[in-house]
Structure 1
């Protein structure tokens, strides 16, 4: 199997990050990596806060939050007046779950690609309401038409009160046709929450045209924002129904102010987030996307070749800009979440390589991410050493 040609590095891009040079950090998708310039912008905001905390919190903070929110919303094509800054996608999903009315006869529909913490939040919300969580299995890989058809068949008009669908699934790195799936759900007046945790900064998106009732995406993964920065976009009919997870002083102002203002929260990640977008645009977003997707594909190919994974078993992304790829691990490895975590830790400890290992569908999946600080030789070295490590690990 040919490994293909890796992309040329983007000049100077690696110097923008403080990643440990002794570690091959091939897992940007989990926690991102904040550019040095953004780190410094955030530190200046922390310094400003500590120089006069009362002034920072009491004079003009709301205006600065609104300015940031408008900046981030414009980047993803969302209505700024219907969007709110939240700490992460899971927090946004929990907010939505708490704002959708559920009765004991109701259900929330998720897929077997749902992110773990979102699935946990859904189960807790349904348990408290006496409602049901139902999971629809979606194959990997699958054509968009099949995905839409399977979700449509799983909907139960009158009972399904919310559909949660990933735009990019974390464990499987699959993309889903959220616009078409949302349209299918709306045929039965079923609202849709799109988990877009990996979308901002990786894929071009126009939230307003997606039709989603709720859309939430992290900016601290692929958009170079400090960790703790995400945007929740809510369609007009739902905005008055949104209730914050914690009540604070802006409660009477309603959404989005009631959600965003949380007293003595550290707002420096949000306020520094536009610097992350500036960094991305300075590098050239089209160039970054092309580089990252090509490098992720290269990494997937060389690792799969080393593990003797047939070409036909490699999931191919529907979107060419995808910067995450998965490689199926040998049968019997990492088949449960604890086993997957243990293997991930072992790879980190023994090879000084950071990856993501997930258990999905009874199979271990190695997920590789690519970012501008990565180099092809990191994937080459990993591919050379991984087979022996897995052989020894199974003994």
Structure 2
């Protein structure tokens, strides 16, 4: 394949970010969206918290409820919601379990998901539907479907008078698309559908507040909000707070939501206590600058790969720090094939990225974060060209 210059320019690195992470420079890290990367100041704070815990475990745990509540308040403010509506959780997998355990479903009800949903979340929904005798209905969204109204209408077209619950992505993990917009959530609410939003990638990536239209909304902070793993949040509408029963009964159960959901005995709470430092760091850098940089960088990377390898870039949503491209037919069409492609990229080129199976050919996802540089996307593109050529 002929090498060409990309049609978009890469943004300049943001000042002061050169030594912000401790990532191995010998590795091309283009998969921030999976596990994130914790900045040095947040790592240092979590380390101090852990040392404090080990110096006096009894005192640390005695003070913990108040300190978790303070962290919760800071995070709620950053996300544009109220502390009494937000519970800290380890990740979105916990959050979907809480939501599914508390949403009333009956035999014959319909539950909507899309074929762009995250695998474990969709599987949790499927299992819950089977347990209760509900029908799982999958909305098919073609990869080339334009954003906005086309996506909204495709979802609404599958709603029936038996639709009780819709579990939708804020930003899809494999295809980097926005689905659960406020407009769509408002329409579903108007039709009496309970909505659950998997917003795993939204905190830190998008500027807007938690949508008030969602009944349940949950996101991870370790991806784009610079929190340690494992830190997630669950936000519910006010009418749900008195109905939530935690998955695990513990000493804080008598306090109700959110404390009852948060308390897990001897869980490591240091990531939650350090999470506000990630928000503070993002604020100090300038959230708008970071988001603009990451969006432009991801767009640049997608253009480099598309033009070098001859792949089609999938429709992208404005403001996102991830892009997805369609792989050729026969490539990464199954999970083992996708895993092998990722393994080859790692073993031969030291590149970390994500491929996922899709009908007719897989999907490649890449990310842009402060630590990424323009030449890294050329490494990815050249490696793919060699593997697929």
For normalisation by structure 1, the TM-score amounts to 0.94
Q: Say if 2:343 is the partner of 1:345.
A: yes
> Pick from 22, 27, 49: which aligns with 1:23?
27
Q: Is the 8 A contact 1:165 1:178 kept in 2?
A: no
Q: Which runs of 5+ in 2 are unaligned?
A: none
Q: Which residue of 2 aligns with 1:297?
A: 299
29-38 vs 103-112, which moves further: 103-112
> What's the secondary structure of 1:291's corresponding residue?
helix
Q: How many residues align?
A: 384
Q: Say if 2:130 is the partner of 1:127.
A: yes
Q: Say if 2:320 is the partner of 1:317.
A: no
CA distance in 2 between counterparts of 1:337 and 1:202 reads: 28
Q: Is the 8 A contact 1:178 1:194 kept in 2?
A: no
CA distance in 2 between counterparts of 1:316 and 1:133 reads: 27
> Pick from 61, 69, 76: which aligns with 1:57?
61
CA distance in 1 between counterparts of 2:158 and 2:164 reads: 13
Q: For residues 130-187 of structure 1, give each alpha carbon's deviation from its aligned partner in whole angstroms, at most 9, with x where no partner exists.
A: 2221111122332311211121121122x22210111100000011252111111112
| CA positional deviation for 1:318 | 2.6
> What's the secondary structure of 1:215's corresponding residue?
strand
CA distance in 1 between counterparts of 2:383 and 2:242 reads: 55
Q: For residues 70-116 of structure 1, give each alpha carbon's deviation from its aligned partner in whole angstroms, at most 9, with x where no partner exists.
A: 11111111221111001111211111001112222122110111110
Q: Is the 8 A contact 2:147 2:316 kept in 1?
A: no
Q: Is the 8 A contact 2:332 2:361 kept in 1?
A: yes
Q: Say if 2:346 is the partner of 1:331.
A: no
Q: Is the 8 A contact 1:148 1:184 kept in 2?
A: no
Q: Is the 8 A contact 1:336 1:362 kept in 2?
A: no
Q: Which runs of 5+ in 1 are unaligned?
A: none
Q: Say if 2:45 is the partner of 1:41.
A: yes
> Pick from 163, 177, 201: which aligns with 1:160?
163
| CA positional deviation for 1:3 | 3.0
Within a 5 Å distance, the mapping from 1:1-395 to structure 2 comes to: 2-58=6-62, 60-140=63-143, 141-157=145-161, 159-207=162-210, 209-309=211-311, 313-319=312-318, 321-391=319-389
CA distance in 2 between counterparts of 1:6 and 1:238 reads: 45
> What's the secondary structure of 1:216's corresponding residue?
strand
Q: CA RMSD in A?
A: 1.3
Q: Is the 8 A contact 2:176 2:317 kept in 1?
A: no
| CA positional deviation for 1:217 | 0.8
> What's the secondary structure of 2:205's corresponding residue?
coil
